[in-house]
Structure 1
Amino acid sequence: MKLINNIEKIGKLMSKYMTILIVGIAIYSFVIPSTFTWVTPNMNTILQIMMFGVGVTISIEQFKLVLERPKDVFIGAIGQFTIMPLVAYAVCKLLNLPQEVSIGLILVGSCPGGVSSNMMSFIAKGDVALSVSLTTVSTLIAPIATPILTLILAGSYIEVSLSAMFLSIIKVVLIPIIAGVLCNKYLPIVSEISGKCIPMLSSIALMCLVAGVISTSVDNIKTTGLLLFVAVLIHNVFGHLLGYILAKKFGMDEEKRRVVSLEVGMQNTGLATTLAINHYSILAALPAAIAGTWQTIFSAILANYWAEKSKNKVLPLESEYMNNK
């Protein structure tokens, strides 16, 4: 049990410094790419581990929350699967990106919310329960939404196999998540141990996915790196901004606005990477690798900004107390 507790501590530490770790591993894999060439053939397994980890953190009771607050979840989910795909398509056209890079960016935009958005929502003092609900719902919708959106928006670039991508998402996302949820419900001891180990395993898995794509795309990064980084930056920043505006327009409070912004802006780049490699090419996976690095950095900065803003906020009860004095 001491070993498990140590693993849990390491996992929390890695989660805390994930931005630094991802940037570091991205630079290392670019300089010494041979270290991570083993990742590409094993990406499905790596992502399945990550998705099982998501499932372990979800209880069946959390699904009740979706029924209790359908409006908030519906707005967030609509934002997730409209804002990011459409912005990705617009950026591809605006910057006249190469065909395979365009497919990759559209695929990133069409994927569900990233798992780390829950952690960022917690740091940002947002509505964490809403964040978990949105991540869960968008992930469950993904097997249908992601292939259809990719077909509609990237169909002009290349033929998209709807059934192949659907089955791929079922295999690498839905089944591991369901297994994790059932484990949480019926095997509490296994779930407890897994829950302590998953943060470290998920962190390592995410780092491996980023490093694997970069290590096999060094030449492409050198030729398209700057343009691609600009595309990813525009896509991600506008996702956060438009997600926040959407929540504000529908009258959500500040805590919910932060969550919708983070959920819309942060994509499951691990899934995008795997789908790109399975159905397109390594080059198509490059936007996901860069997006995974950038969105971690930007969302961490944004979440910490909101956290500091909340610290300086005077609560109504505190204001009343000071006025009485």
Structure 2
Amino acid sequence: MDQFVTILLLPLALAILMFGLGLSLSIIDFRRLILFPGPLLLGLAGHILCLPLIAFLIAIVMKLPPPIAVSLIVIAACPCGITSNVLTFIGRADVALSITMTAVSSLISVFTTPLFVMLALKTFYGDMAMPNLHLGSAMEKLFLYTALPILSGIAVRIFYPVLTRQLLLWLRPVGFGILLTTIAYSVLMNWSLVLENIIVMGPLALLLNLIAISFGLWLGRQFYLDSRQKLTLTLGLGVQNATMATFIAVTVLDRIDYAAAPTIYGAIMVLNGLVLIRFVRLRYS
């Protein structure tokens, strides 16, 4: 059953969610990218470069053990999560910007995420035996389960718009159903690991998420984004693709013990995202 989840269900959930993301992108989103690239580029730079560096800094300053340090960096090196699109919609922020940021960061992460994970393994394991990571194989797997489904979804939307509307009606609930099933099974199978790691990983995940949110708010103020773009940017930085982080842990690195961290972080990032939305609504209402 473990192999069924890690080899089939988890990759399938990731691919379906990424395909649905590609279907959600429109020509208007690409036009926005060309005409108003500032907020998007700001979000991508913050997410792809700054967050992994922040995770590295936390791990080095706090002298974290290698498994915890690498787990934290795997989370930070993953792109924006689709959950950020949902939270952006709930918060009445810029959904088009959120979807575009998630899609573009997911495409770029095919190359950047394995590089950061490899750097983390070499930095924190040193001469000790460490999980095996082959960069070419890791990039290939991420391309197959993230970039290719996104590009396929974009192609279907362009050439088959009627089919796209029909697919979106059932694909989103199916995708999220598979995702929730995978997460629930992961939690149940790794419950002891979650309990073992929550005392250490819980505060670290909270710290990383609060820094990401604070960094997003700071960037939004520094570059004079409007309130909707600022909230979108902050949610994008604070909500990682926990499904991809779990996929990397159990499928790419073959380390089931690394799967506890994305589960813990995933719960924290959603709760903090909802609190942020509530705070913004109260402030601007």
> TM-score, structure 2 length as denominator?
0.89
1:223-262 map, 5 Å: 223-262=196-235
Specify every segment of 5 or more residues in structure 2 that has no aligned partner in the other structure, as ranges: none
Q: Which has the larger radius of gyration?
A: 1
Match for 2:279: what amino acid? Y
1:51-130 map, 5 Å: 51-130=18-97
1:1-325 map, 5 Å: 38-42=4-8, 43-156=10-123, 157=125, 158=130, 160-280=133-253, 281-310=255-284, 312=285
Specify every segment of 5 or more residues in structure 1 that has no aligned partner in the other structure, as ranges: 1-33, 313-325
1:191 deviates by 1.1
Change (3 A) 1:112 1:226: same
Q: Distance in 1 between the 2:209 and 2:274 partners?
A: 13
CA RMSD of aligned residues (A): 2.0
Q: Distance in 2 between the 1:230 and 1:116 partners?
A: 21
Q: Distance in 1 between the 2:6 and 2:114 partners?
A: 22
Q: Distance in 2 between the 1:197 and 1:111 partners?
A: 26
Q: How many residues align?
A: 277
Q: Distance in 2 between the 1:48 and 1:252 partners?
A: 33
Q: Distance in 2 between the 1:302 and 1:237 partners?
A: 10
Change (3 A) 1:84 1:209: farther
Change (3 A) 1:152 1:60: farther
1:94 deviates by 4.2
Match for 1:162: what amino acid? L
Q: Distance in 1 between the 2:257 and 2:218 partners?
A: 33
Q: Distance in 1 between the 2:223 and 2:121 partners?
A: 30
Q: Distance in 1 between the 2:84 and 2:104 partners?
A: 13
State the SS of the aligned residue for 2:179.
helix
Match for 2:72: what amino acid? L
Match for 1:261: what amino acid? T
Change (3 A) 1:184 1:296: same
Match for 2:218: what amino acid? I
Query: Do the aligned partners of 1:124 and 1:305 also contact (CA within 8 Å) in 2?
Result: no
Query: Do the aligned partners of 1:125 and 1:306 also contact (CA within 8 Å) in 2?
Result: no
1:241 deviates by 0.8
* Percentage of matched positions with identical amino acids: 24
> TM-score, structure 1 length as denominator?
0.79
1:38 deviates by 4.7
1:163 deviates by 1.2
Of the structure 1 ranges 133-142 and 117-126, higher mean CA displacement relative to structure 2 is found in: 117-126
1:247 deviates by 2.0
Of the structure 1 ranges 153-162 and 45-54, higher mean CA displacement relative to structure 2 is found in: 153-162
Change (3 A) 1:166 1:234: same
1:91 deviates by 2.8
**Structure 1 residues 270-309: Cα deviation after superposition (integer angstroms, max 9, x where no partner):** 1111111112201112211211222122212212332343
1:124 deviates by 2.0
**Structure 1 residues 10-61: Cα deviation after superposition (integer angstroms, max 9, x where no partner):** xxxxxxxxxxxxxxxxxxxxxxxx9x88523321112111111111111244
